[in-house]
Every structure is written in C-alpha cells, then in structure tokens.
Amino acid sequence: MSGHSKWSTIKRKKAKVDSQRAVVFQKYSRELIVSARMGGPDPAGNFRLRTAIEKAKAAGLPNDNIKRAIEKGAGANGAESFEELIYEGYAPGGVAVVVETMTDNRNRTAGDIRSYFTKYNGSLGATGCVGWMFDQRGVIIFDNTVDFDKLFETAIGLDALDITEEDDQYKVLTTIENFQTVVEGLEAEGFKSVSADFSRIPQNTVPVTDEKTAEQILKLLDKLEEHDDVQNVYANFDIADDILQKLEG
C-alpha cells in the first residue's frame, strides 16, 4: 500500500475522532450553505446539496445544524458570502500540494496558507503550478460486502472509469461530468455507497524515504486541514510504510 493511500486511511480515522470539533462542523456547514445557494434548498433537485447532506450526517452534524445551514444558503437568514478558492504549492521533498478552500476573506486565507507552507519548509506557488499533476475524479466508495462482479458490471455499464479494491473497500472512479449519473445509476440498482465525493488523484507519486522530510510534510498537511477555511487537501507523496507507521505512532 502506498504511503499516500495509507495517509487517506489515517485521515479517515482522525476525522472520526475529531468529528465533534467545531472546526469540522463548520466545514460541512459551509459546503451546505454554498450548495443551497448555488442550486436551491431542495436536495431532490440539487445533487451537490444532497451529497453535502449525506457527508454532513455521516460526520455527525446535527439535523438542526444542517437545516440552518441550508436555510442560510437559501437566503432565509442572510447567507454568508463564501468564495471557493484553490491554492497550489510544494511541500518539502518536492511534493505537490493542492488546497481547496471556502472563505469569506480571501486575504486572511491566502496569508494563513502562505505562512503554513513557509513554516514547514514548503512554498506556495501560482495557480496551476501543480494542479495539472492531479486528475479530478468522482470517487464512490462501497464496503467489500457488496457483490464485486455485479458492481463492476453495473458501473462499467454506466461508463465509470475504473473499479479498484483498496483498504478493504471498493472504489468506483468516474469523470466529474459523469459522477451524478454513476451515483444515481448504482443507487437504482440497489448499491448503497459508504461515501460519494469528488477527489484529486495524483498521476504520479513522489517517494519520501527521509523521516525528517516526511514529518514536515505531514505537519504541513495537518496544519492546512485544521484551518477553518480549508475544505480539502491533496498531495502526491509516497512515504515509506515503516516511516509512516513510526510517525503515526
């Protein structure tokens, strides 16, 4: 298993532990607000909102909070004005990093993101400097109790790009454009996903064999993900398993 894949597992475990933190709730609330503002408050006709609601519920966001966020987005209580901005740069060791944010103050966010890269021996670059190293994909995850052959056949019939097995789960990959069609098509055939979301998958990974470099990379990613305005962080590192396990411990 690559270090990058293992890091994804660590993040999922960490998210469960941190799910009650206000900063985590705020991230989901912002996504609900923006989704409702862009596509309306009815999840039946707003796929992005429906997906946001499912993610928020899975993270433990109370129903009242979900309802209030949707109402804000719909304008019932004066929705905050959030911008979706992307920052790109390099972590130590030449590792590419893409940071997706949702902010009501771009100057504050840019300053904070830049300071984190500098503090942990990285560098913030211009828009587009590393984004091309990642493929934007829809990722639909199922637990391995589903019938893989039927899942594979159904997903391919819906023009999914690939189906892989990783971390005792099945992952269906789609284009961004075909994501909704595949999600709804699989649901119609009785497949209930663990999660369905967009992701950025690195085309190639950068091997990291030095413990100090690995530690700086992980500290930078942790710091970025803890920021209120940051929604998602992607990186193309491949840290050696023994180093990753040592740092995790």
- Shared domain check, 184 and 244: no
Both tokens of residue 162? 């690939």
- Shared domain check, 186 and 152: yes
| Structural domain boundaries, residue 125 | 83-132+203-248
At residue 59, the pLDDT reads 82
For 72-85, what is the mean pLDDT?
A: 75
- Shared domain check, 30 and 65: yes
- Shared domain check, 208 and 128: yes
Q: Rounded to whole angstroms, what are the CA distances from 47 to 115, 148, 164, 197, 198? A: 35, 26, 24, 11, 13
Burial of 128 (0-12, 13-18, 19+ CB in 10 A): exposed
Task: Report the distance separating Cα 69 and Cα 28, nearest Å.
Answer: 9
The tens digit of pLDDT for each residue in 187-214 reads 999 999 988 999 999 999 999 999 999 9
Give this prediction's pTM: 0.84
Specify whether the CB–CB gap between 34 and 72 falls below 8 A: no
pLDDT mean across residues, the chain: 88
- Shared domain check, 194 and 166: yes
Provide the percentage of residues in the chain whose pLDDT is more than 90. Answer: 65
Q: Is the pLDDT of residue 49 over 70?
A: yes
At residue 20, the pLDDT reads 47
Q: Is the pLDDT of residue 14 over 70?
A: no
At residue 236, the pLDDT reads 95
- Shared domain check, 230 and 110: yes
- Shared domain check, 40 and 60: yes
The tens digit of pLDDT for each residue in 116-160 reads 999 999 999 999 999 999 999 999 999 989 999 999 999 999 999
Q: Rounded to whole angstroms, what are the CA distances from 174 to 18, 162, 183? A: 29, 7, 9
